[in-house]
Structure 1
């Protein structure tokens, strides 16, 4: 198993809490990681129908038989177990007694809020980061964007096209049906493809509604499902304590560039070389990389973008609590001072006189007095 950045954080939380809950997309490596970190724990997968029926029909008996060190995979399948886990950990008062995993963010968090608040640490495992992916030979940028970061592609040496087609059919479509009764899955898949074509753009449900042919209310519900199943996420605009007219709609990104590329109809890496959305894929990869670093290191940072009504913007702002870190993301191999053409204006708007800007691109790393310039493979928060 490839060493994951989050490993020590999981072990630390297991020594502090009776329950550790690990959420994240399907196939992000949650089960593999938990079994590797807790080899002596009993492993129970609630996708197993017989096991699920036992847990659902007799949660008291199920937990009574399975305590004192157990991994419960896909806990959202039997959310009623959380109440009995609460009873068990309150009585036993043992650290690290239960390790839970879940692929439906909303379902898992609802169950935790109802029964396990204060009793569980909640961590998030996303697909490979760029650093974790460096264990595999290719550093060709088009191949990285095309393959994406799901561990199974590398661990089992599966062609990206094959894995991603199966992933959409097996996981996305099934999970969608579990969460909401969508009558026409074809329209949902059309919506998914249109989302891939709008990565890095402001979310405009009215325009999408016209293209898909369903109401904005329905699309809002579908978007919530895509967020809950870790397919997409929304990047919020930064407008804290500012009086200017600023954009307040979020931008849309995918958790994985390979999935995005597949939905765009890209079937080999060479198609990316002159593709009009290659830059959007690169931006998606780097903002996703920041999310992974924050989640896997347990950082308390927040991510935003900034744009005013005149279109003056910065790709990413990392709110580190005590300071704001502005980051420009460009796919170019050569640095240009034009990357920071809005620097002085944004510094004035955000009161950033002491901030050192960061530029992430596909050229070589350089440090300057006013800006750090990073190759995409080397940037660390």
Structure 2
């Protein structure tokens, strides 16, 4: 759960996080559990709540706190004092040399629920985990709030989550203006402080310009040459910038689905700003009225809906988009497959009277999904054709309940 506390006020809103039960179950059999995700997504609050109710004493070390870092000058001596505790290591990527020690301590005593490791998923954190804790840790990704975590899913809630995004301090802000200020500060802090702390040596102004350009290309195919030329850098640098933002959960690369290698298929990923609030902030869209008159409206809705679907997607499904380059155009926004078998196709429309385009119908006829949903902002689910139904965004859990 998340509590929203603001200076001079208290908002008693409590929002349960979807991952809470899964993390608890992992702690029951794994000696180490990791919670990774973007900064300010609620990792620390969730970890403390889980640990508090876990039935063991808790020691919390924040590796951004100099006093806690000093405690780990001799980490083995310090941590051995708390062998019967659950140890929370917050922002663990800041001290990667701890991972070999954690491996040793776990191998000496593999009792479940010893360490809860939080991190912003830097390359260093991933590398150390793969080298040192393979087979000893289960990772969970905590994203900002999603619609299924809201206590209500009426249009006011949907609109607020879409406009402000899911970061707790933005979504729970008293006003849109406060939310906008928070998002601008988040972007600045991420570029000027978080990135250097993760070992990124790209100037903040360069990454900000690149991030903003990506926002203008939200939902479009990745074109490294075009962005590199606009930035005045080489395509390899543009690719590196893209990977940096992906590894810190700021953007998503949605890969294309290849069902038939003989077809002329698009091979580049589509790129989305993962949090819709950050997208709007980067584009200087400060209100819902501004969004409704902005050319990015449809792409913003598409990216928002994709994130809501992926938030509840069972792990056995892989997500893609589908598009051909052939004379007979075929395109679908989101394909959910098990292996090479397409189970579900999703088209996303910001319209109260959604209709499938010819290219969408061509894609459906080619892919032959078991069911196709057209996600839209309306209230009713009704059939368009055989195995093709409209689906209100408030009812997206139906995607997987009947599959």
Q: TM-score, normalised by structure 1?
A: 0.91
Match in the other structure for 1:188: 207
Partner SS for 2:335: strand
Match in the other structure for 2:140: 123
Match in the other structure for 2:8: none
Partner SS for 1:328: strand
Q: Describe the shift of the 1:36–1:155 C-alpha distance in structure 2 as closer, same or farther (beyond 3 A).
A: farther
Match in the other structure for 2:107: 90
What is the rounded CA distance, in whole Å, between the counterparts of 1:220 and 1:128 in structure 2?
28
What is the rounded CA distance, in whole Å, between the counterparts of 2:16 and 2:99 in structure 1?
29
8 Å CA contact 2:173–2:179 kept in 1: the answer is no
1:104 pairs with one of 101, 105, 121: 121
1:319 pairs with one of 334, 337, 349: 337
What is the rounded CA distance, in whole Å, between the counterparts of 1:152 and 1:120 in structure 2?
29
Match in the other structure for 2:249: 230
Q: How does 1:164-203 map to 2 (within 5 A)?
A: 164-178=183-197, 179-182=199-202, 184-203=203-222
Cα RMSD for the two superposed structures: 2.1
8 Å CA contact 2:352–2:378 kept in 1: the answer is yes
Once the two structures are TM-superposed, the CA of residue 343 in structure 1 deviates from its matched residue by: 5.0
8 Å CA contact 1:335–1:363 kept in 2: the answer is no
Once the two structures are TM-superposed, the CA of residue 279 in structure 1 deviates from its matched residue by: 0.7
1:362 pairs with one of 355, 365, 377: 377
Q: Describe the shift of the 1:345–1:137 C-alpha distance in structure 2 as closer, same or farther (beyond 3 A).
A: closer
Once the two structures are TM-superposed, the CA of residue 229 in structure 1 deviates from its matched residue by: 1.0
What is the rounded CA distance, in whole Å, between the counterparts of 2:29 and 2:342 in structure 1?
29
What is the rounded CA distance, in whole Å, between the counterparts of 2:157 and 2:149 in structure 1?
15
- Alpha-carbon deviations, 1:318-355, whole Å to 9, x = none? 1134642110011111132xx153455324433x2x61
The farther-off stretch of 279-288 and 212-221 is 212-221
What is the rounded CA distance, in whole Å, between the counterparts of 2:158 and 2:112 in structure 1?
43
8 Å CA contact 1:142–1:273 kept in 2: the answer is no
What is the rounded CA distance, in whole Å, between the counterparts of 1:332 and 1:202 in structure 2?
23
8 Å CA contact 2:35–2:139 kept in 1: the answer is yes
1:272 pairs with one of 274, 288, 291: 291
1:204 pairs with one of 223, 227, 245: 223
The farther-off stretch of 199-208 and 85-94 is 85-94
- Alpha-carbon deviations, 1:71-129, whole Å to 9, x = none? 11111111111111111111112111111111124322211111111111111110111
8 Å CA contact 1:23–1:105 kept in 2: the answer is no
What is the rounded CA distance, in whole Å, between the counterparts of 1:99 and 1:11 in structure 2?
11
What is the rounded CA distance, in whole Å, between the counterparts of 1:163 and 1:100 in structure 2?
26
Once the two structures are TM-superposed, the CA of residue 300 in structure 1 deviates from its matched residue by: 2.6
- Which structure 1 residue ranges, 5 or more long, are not aligned? none
What is the rounded CA distance, in whole Å, between the counterparts of 2:113 and 2:230 in structure 1?
49
Match in the other structure for 1:63: 79
What is the rounded CA distance, in whole Å, between the counterparts of 1:304 and 1:116 in structure 2?
30
What is the rounded CA distance, in whole Å, between the counterparts of 1:149 and 1:167 in structure 2?
13
The farther-off stretch of 323-332 and 63-72 is 63-72
1:152 pairs with one of 169, 177, 183: 169
What is the rounded CA distance, in whole Å, between the counterparts of 1:343 and 1:265 in structure 2?
32
Once the two structures are TM-superposed, the CA of residue 134 in structure 1 deviates from its matched residue by: 4.2
1:378 paired with 2:379, answer no
8 Å CA contact 1:175–1:229 kept in 2: the answer is no
Which structure carries more relative contact order (alpha carbon 8 Å, separation 6+)? 1
Once the two structures are TM-superposed, the CA of residue 227 in structure 1 deviates from its matched residue by: 0.8
1:304 paired with 2:320, answer yes
What is the rounded CA distance, in whole Å, between the counterparts of 1:334 and 1:318 in structure 2?
24
1:218 paired with 2:237, answer yes
Once the two structures are TM-superposed, the CA of residue 216 in structure 1 deviates from its matched residue by: 1.5
1:26 paired with 2:43, answer no
